[in-house]
Homo-oligomer: A and B are copies of this chain.
Amino acid sequence: MSKQQKTAITPTRVDNFPEWYQQVIKAADMAENAPVRGCMIIKPYGYAVWENMQRVFDDRIKAEGVQNAYFPLLIPLEFISREAEHVDGFAKECAVVTHHRLEKGEKGLQPAESAKLEEPYVIRPTSETIIGDAMSRWIQSYRDLPLKLNQWANVMRWEMRTRMFLRTSEFLWQEGHNAFETAEEAREDALKMLRVYADFAENTLAMPVIVGEKTEDERFPGADATYTIEAMMQDGKALQAGTSHDLGQNFARSMGIRFQGRDGSEAYAHTTSWGISTRLIGGMIMTHGDDDGMIMPPKVAPIHVAIIPVLREDSDAAQILDYCERLSLRLKELGLRVQLDTSDRRTPDKMWDAVKKGVPLRVEIGGREVEAESLTCVRRDLGRESKANYSLEDFTGKVQMLLDEVQAELLRRAKAFRDSRIRDVSSLAEVKALYIEESAAQGAQNGFACADVSILSDPGFEALCKEFSLTPRCLPFEDKGRKVLIGKAY
Contact = CB atoms under 8 A, between A and B. Distances in A.
Contact of A44 (B68, B96, B153): B68
B123 A97 contact: yes
Contacts of A78: 108-109
A133 interface: yes
Contact of A34 (B67, B72, B110, B149): B72
A80 B102 contact: yes
Contact of A149 (B44, B91, B102): B44
Given A44-B68, A91-B109, A92-B102, 16 more contacts: A35-B76, A36-B72, A36-B75, A36-B121, A39-B74, A41-B134, A47-B69, A70-B172, A73-B123, A74-B95, A77-B108, A78-B108, A92-B101, A95-B121, A98-B111, A143-B344
A111 B102 contact: no
A48 B68 contact: yes
Interface of A: 32, 34-36, 39-44, 47-48, 50-51, 67-81, 87, 91-104, 108-111, 120-123, 130, 133-134, 137, 143, 149, 153-154, 156, 158, 170, 172, 344
12 contacts: A34-B72, A35-B130, A35-B133, A36-B121, A39-B73, A41-B70, A47-B70, A73-B123, A74-B170, A96-B98, A96-B100, A96-B111
A142 to B, nearest CB: 12
Contacts of A170: 72-74
A39 B72 contact: yes
B92 A109 contact: no
A268 to B, nearest CB: 20
A261 B395 CA distance: 42
A68 B94 CA distance: 28
A48 B70 CA distance: 10
Contacts of A153: 154
Contacts of A109: 77-78, 80-81, 87, 91
Nearest to A155: B73
Contact of A67 (B44, B87, B96, B344): B44
A111 B153 CA distance: 24
A449 to B, nearest CB: 35
B91 A96 contact: no
The 5 closest A-B pairs by CB, nearest first: A44-B67, A91-B102, A96-B99, A42-B70, A100-B158
Contacts of A121: 36, 95
Contacts of A80: 102, 109
B87 A94 contact: no
Given A35-B133, A69-B44, A71-B41, A93 B100 contact: yes
A97 B96 contact: yes
A130 B33 CA distance: 12
Contacts of A133: 35
Contact of A98 (B40, B68, B98): B98
